[in-house]
Amino acid sequence: MSIDTQLFEGKLIRLAPIDHEKDPEVESRWTHDLTLSRALSRKPAMPQSVVQIKKKYEAIEKEVEEAKNIFHFTIRSKEDGRLLGYIRIEGIEWNHGTGSLKLAIGDPAERGKGFGSEALQCMLQFAFNELNLHRMSAVVGEDTPGALRFFVKHGFVEEVRRRKALLRDGQVWDSIHLGILQREWLDLSKERVDHE
């Protein structure tokens, strides 16, 4: 790989900064479908107003600047620049080389088109080739089997099942922790290149 390379570009998407003018309205609309925030967090899901989203963006940028253990990027279509979602690495512990991934494609109609896969691969490349992290974690609920399949497809290994840790819609579900090591991702990307 050339040193003069675009880490944040896939074929369909690119990772880009927050747009404080345009993004809040789009993301506020997404939050009114609670499916997404339920998939991303165990906290009670609530819709968010435009003003709340604006405040959240400011908080994110402040955290990025001050805590230095989080990277947050928006996912945009290369075609027309529209906001598709966001991806972040959080909770980085630099002394151990570890961090956690969160990924969201906001509009259900935009899912299943490969945007999330490209965003994830860009972010893993960033995590392992630029940040030199040793491993990345992700947590999914048993109630979102699509998210579990997604991470497994990309080489994440199921590591922990916190039994019955979620109670939703009157049912209990496991909380599943996944992980991928730097060397595992490097081996997989070598295979990908060999196939191309």
Partner 1 sequence: MNNNLLRGELVRLTAENPEVMAANFTRWNQDTGWLRFLDTQPPLMPSEKKWKEWLEKDMERASLDNFFFAIRTTESDTLIGFIGLFDLFMQHGDTLVAIALGERQYWGKGYGTDAMRIMLRYAFSELNLRRAGLIVFDYNPRAIRSYEKAGFVHEGRIREVIHRDGKRYDFLYMGILREEWLANGNMTS
Give the footprint of partner 1 on this chain (CB under 8 A). Answer: 42-44, 93, 95-98, 134-135, 137, 157-167, 172, 177, 179, 181
Q: Is residue 65 helix, strand or coil?
A: helix
Q: How far is the CB of 141 from partner 1 (least distance, A)?
A: 10
Nearest CB to partner 1, comparing residues 7 and 167? 167
Q: How far is the CB of 61 from partner 1 (least distance, A)?
A: 24
Q: Is residue 94 helix, strand or coil?
A: coil
Q: How far is the CB of 86 from partner 1 (least distance, A)?
A: 23
Q: How far is the CB of 143 from partner 1 (least distance, A)?
A: 12
Phi, psi of 141 (to 5 degrees): -90, 150
Nearest CB to partner 1, comparing residues 102 and 135? 135
Nearest CB to partner 1, comparing residues 54 and 135? 135
Run of H or E including 91? strand 83-93
Q: Is the dihedral of CA 13, 16, 18, 21 positive or negative?
A: negative
Nearest CB to partner 1, comparing residues 25 and 93? 93
Nearest CB to partner 1, comparing residues 16 and 40? 40
How many CB atoms sit inside 10 A of residue 122's CB?
21
Region for 169 from its dihedrals, namely left if φ exceeds 0, alpha if ψ lies in -120 to 50, beta otherwise:
left
How many CB atoms sit inside 10 A of residue 164's CB?
12
Q: How far is the CB of 63 from partner 1 (least distance, A)?
A: 17
